[in-house]
Amino acid sequence: MGKRVGPVESLDELWSWVAASDGQSWSAMTIGAAVVALLLVGWRRTWRITRHVITIVHEAGHALVALLTGRRLAGIRLHSDTSGVTVSVGRPTGPGMVFTSLAGYIAPSLVGLGLAALVAAKRTELTLWLSIGLLVAMLVVIRNVFGVISIVLTGAVFFLVSWYADQSVQAAFCYLVAWFLLFGGIRPVGELQRKRRTGQAKDSDADQLARLTRTPGILWVGLFGVVSIAALLFGGGLLLGTA
Name the band, by pLDDT with cuts 50, 70 and 90, for residue 19.
very low
Instruction: Please answer whether residues 115 and 185 qualify as being in contact, where contact means their C-beta atoms are separated by less than 8 angstroms.
Output: no
The residue extents of the domains of the chain are 24-240
Radius of gyration of the chain from Cα atoms? 19
**pLDDT per residue over 107-127, tens digit each?**
999 999 999 999 999 999 999
Instruction: Please answer whether residues 239 and 172 qualify as being in contact, where contact means their C-beta atoms are separated by less than 8 angstroms.
Output: no
Name the band, by pLDDT with cuts 50, 70 and 90, for residue 35.
very high
Bridge partners of 59, per DSSP, are none
What is the reported pTM? 0.88
